[in-house]
Amino acid sequence: MSFNVLNSAKHYLKQGLKAIGKEEFFEFLATPEQVLEVNFPVKLDDGGVKLFKGFRVRHSTVLGPAKGGIRFHPNVNLEEVKALAFWMSFKTSLANLPYGGAKGGVIVNPKELSINELQSLTRAFTRAIANNIGPDIDVPAPDVYTNPETMAWIVDEYSRIKGSWQPAVVTGKPLNLFGLQGREISTSLGVQYVIEALLETLNKKPSQTSVAIQGFGNVGANHALLLFKKGFKVVAISDSSTGLFNANGLNIEKALQHKKQTGKLKGFSQQGVKEISNQELLSLECDVLVPAALEAAINEKNVASVKAKLVVEAANGPVTMNADEILFDNNITVVPDILANSGGVIGSYFEWVQNKQGLAWSLENVKSMLKDYILKSLNKVQSFAKENNVSLRTSAYALAADRIINALKLTRY
């Protein structure tokens, strides 16, 4: 992710503001409230000390506490974190959550650290940003190369600093530390509910629907499994090693077993399966294409080859702004990331509410509430898009921006 992705997000914001006639709010909505950069030392296992750099960007708190993940990656940079925080503000607004947006990251290759060093780094970063996060200020969550265990370390360190138990300071925690049932699949569930709702309007059954999924990480793999169990024909999946294609549908459960055993999809054997490239996957004749991997996967160089009728963005920023316009002109429906993958932050909101109120919902309750939230957002976005003859993306940004602007008018000037 880079400066170009931030520019794309701002481009979509401009389109959304134009659709509601409120272009004068662009500078306010495009500018983060707070940018924090910290440098902190970590003691290594060999007794040495290494200095690390981290960021926490709070984009907006107009609608409530900021919300957004923390990633550990060697390529973390400030522009990336700003872009992700920007997206979170619009994602939470569109989902009608009482949140703003934030994001954080540390420049580190976690694969080069031991588990003890990772814990020390997490605790040191927590101490560095402790005055800038909190259940009613800014609530982090897992992201790239962070996980529920990372969140447990943050809870413990933050609670020590504050002198009281503070489980609501982060979401995405382990279940036995007041996490949420189904949180690990909530993003994938949201994507599933969006696809099912759109197909229902076309009177198309799962067994009649072919789906190709680029990316087999947590979101892509869980999504593939959910659709497989629902009877969808998942014809293609891919990871960084290879893509797999079977016109009659892949056995996702067996593909997952192979991935767990070998660490990659390459080498998976099933009758009728052939290996394809990630580029070939994007070009397949299919009903639904789900980019669930990297940003800019669909761009001006390959967009002409996209044949899917529906593109659902499970990843952040998988379609570039030029490609997005071409897909719209080609009558290919694109469900934007701030809507399609919002199940993750909706699930995080449920966990936060549980922690704040001492509740514990069942998995079925979580699924039902998540479906209700995301389908309400989808219906609003579809209605605005139809009424104003704009894309679903422009509609989503327009509605999200309008909610923030309306709250701003009531509270801050």
Contacts by 48-52, CB closer than 8 A, 24 or more apart: 52/106, 52/107, 52/108, 52/121, 52/124, 52/125
DSSP 216: -
Distance of CA 344 to the CA centre of its chain: 6
Closest C-alpha to 15, from 92, 90, 104: 90
3-class DSSP state of 349: helix
Phi, psi dihedral angles at 306 (to 5 degrees): -70, 125
Within 8 A by CB and 6+ apart from 260, the residues are none
For residues 66 and 102, is the Cβ–Cβ distance under 8 A?
A: yes
Q: CB-based contacts of 62: which residues, under 8 Å, 6+ apart?
A: 100, 404, 407, 408, 411, 412
From 67, 91, 103, 309, active-site residue: 103
Q: Is 409 a catalytic residue?
A: no
Which amino acid is it at 359? L
- Round to the nearest angstrom and report the end-to-end CA distance of the chain: 34
Alpha carbon 389 to its chain centroid, in Å, reads 27
Kindly state the tokens that stand for 295.
Answer: 């940003």
Residue 21 in contact with residue 14, Cβ under 8 Å?
Answer: no
Alpha-carbon gap, residue 223 to 380, rounded angstroms: 24
Query: How far, in whole angstroms, is CA 22 from its chain's centroid?
Result: 27
Q: What angle do CA 121, 5, 130 make, to 5 degrees?
A: 30
Alpha-helical (H) ranges within 23-77 are 26-30
Active site members: 103
